[in-house]
Amino acid sequence: MRIDKNHIQDTNQKYIAEHNRHFDFLSSLLSGKGYQIDSIIKKLGDFQVAIPSWALGAGGTRFGRFSFQGEPSNLEQKIDDVGVLHALTRTAGAISLHIPWDVPNDYNAIKEVANSHGVTFDAVNSNTFQDQESARESYKFGSLSNASKVIREQAIAHNIDVIKIGDKLGSKSLTVWLADGTNFPGQANFQTALTNTQNSLKDIYGELPDDWKLFIEYKPYEPNFYSTVIQDWGTSFMLANECGDKAYTLVDLGHHLPNTNIEQIVSTLMLKGKLGGFHFNDSKYGDDDLTVGSIKPYALFLIFNELVYGMENNPQNPYPAWMIDASHNTKDPLEDLMQSLEAIQEAYAKALLVDQNLLREAQVNHDVVKCQELLQDAYRTDVRPLLEKARLNRGGALHPINAYRSLNIRKNLIKDRGADSVASGL
């Protein structure tokens, strides 16, 4: 499955006139206010978000799963799906693998597939929250934090394997999401679990190639419902500091207690040079893993406002790894991801429109009304023409979802793969 660029151009014909009218109006308006349109469009185009392999099939809940037709049933097909997304949006130029769901058989072949789509391999993800069929030890009571040394060692070895697999593919970072925790008070000794985790992470860190990064994810609850070993950014930050310079905190939008001010966490981490990666999704209640921007787009904008600020003012922080971590079973996964990509681009574009100089001035003067006006002025701007232009410039679709539909891509995927194919993994 591969989309012909010309076909994408064909779908654009229908929208190009309106796009031009809207873009001309907006760029004239913004230029009049002093914005550098070309620079903004370039930044939008350069912003690439990794797609995790598990988002390409229908997700589900503990109450069941409603699958989608034409799901990719192997790694090559998953990369093909990302290729489709990238061809249409030009902002999905990477895939993030999940091991052991995505172990390649033939590394060169897989790299060629990815290369042919212009897709690179972003952070690799280990999995110690489920037991694998071949596993000798069970992670039922934890992995890197487990009271049992032999289980910890199995989990450490798995992470090192993941690094090796990633290394062969050109990945440069390992993401550790640790589900370890407890369902009941007293089930584990908090201090022992934390110390074990620290030591296990150090062992993994010790095997990290020089040019790699280790991302330590945090999450307050689920799948454990009393405690989680790495429950918040403070714990992750502490662990990352104890590991070393190549260890960073990874923020997943859905991994917070109700009402957490996430943008402030982002800001603090960038100030300290420790924001390594970012997982996008949206949620209303918990780790709902809904389409990015579908519930709280203004919060996403505020987060991007801090990200933009940090990328411009915090040289101590590396360029973060971006990934979408959303997956549900009510939408075609590819359409879902295109909506997420659009929401990310939109929030980024609006954040780029915040006049940081005027904002700083208003902040210093405690002109709170003006501060709010400045953010809202950027947010209220309809930036879609900028996103369209960024895509257009790179050969993408003006309206990716419309193009996807008019090109009958899902229909073709079903024809190729069958209606009943099921994505490996979750």
Interacting positions 305-334 with its own copies (CB under 8 A): 305-306, 309, 313-314, 328-332
Least distance in Å: CB of 289 to its own copies?
8
Choose which of 37, 47, 60, 199 interacts with its own copies (CB under 8 A).
Answer: 60
CB closer to its own copies, 55 vs 114:
55
d(CA 116, CA 118): 6
Q: Which of 40, 97, 114, 290 binds its own copies (CB under 8 A)?
A: 290
Q: How far apart are CA 86 and CA 138, in angstroms?
A: 38
270-289 mask for its own copies (x: CB under 8 A)? xxx----------xxxx-xx
Q: Which is nearer to its own copies, 155 or 270 (CB)?
A: 270
Subset of residues 363 to 382 that bind its own copies, contact rule: CB under 8 A = 363-364, 366, 368-369, 371-376, 379-382
Give the shortest CB-96-to-its own copies separation in angstroms: 17
286: nearest Cα among 51, 64, 61, 55: 61
Minimum Å gap between C-beta 343 and its own copies is: 8
Report the C-alpha gap between 277 and 274 in whole angstroms: 9
DSSP bridge partners of 278 = 251, 322
What is the amino acid identity at position 3? I
Which 65-84 residues touch its own copies, going by CB under 8 A? 66
Show contacts with its own copies in window 169-208 (CB under 8 A): 179, 182-192, 194-195
Nearer to its own copies (CB atom), residue 212 or residue 389: 389
Look up residue 64 and give its DSSP letter.
Answer: B
Q: Which two tokens stand for residue 118?
A: 């212009």
Q: Within 125-144, which residues bind its own copies (CB under 8 A)?
A: 129-131, 138, 140-141
Query: Checking DSSP bridges between strand 124-125 and strand 181-182, what pairing results, if any?
Result: unpaired
> Could you tell me if 263 and 272 are in contact, meaning their C-beta atoms sit under 8 angstroms apart?
no
CA distance 268 to 274: 9
Please give the residues from 213 up to 242 whose contact with its own copies meets the rule CB under 8 A: 220-223, 225-228, 231-235, 237-238
In one-letter notation, the amino acid at residue 333 is P
Q: Does 115 bind its own copies (CB under 8 A)?
A: no
CA torsion, ordered 125, 130, 132, 136, to nearest 10 deg: 110
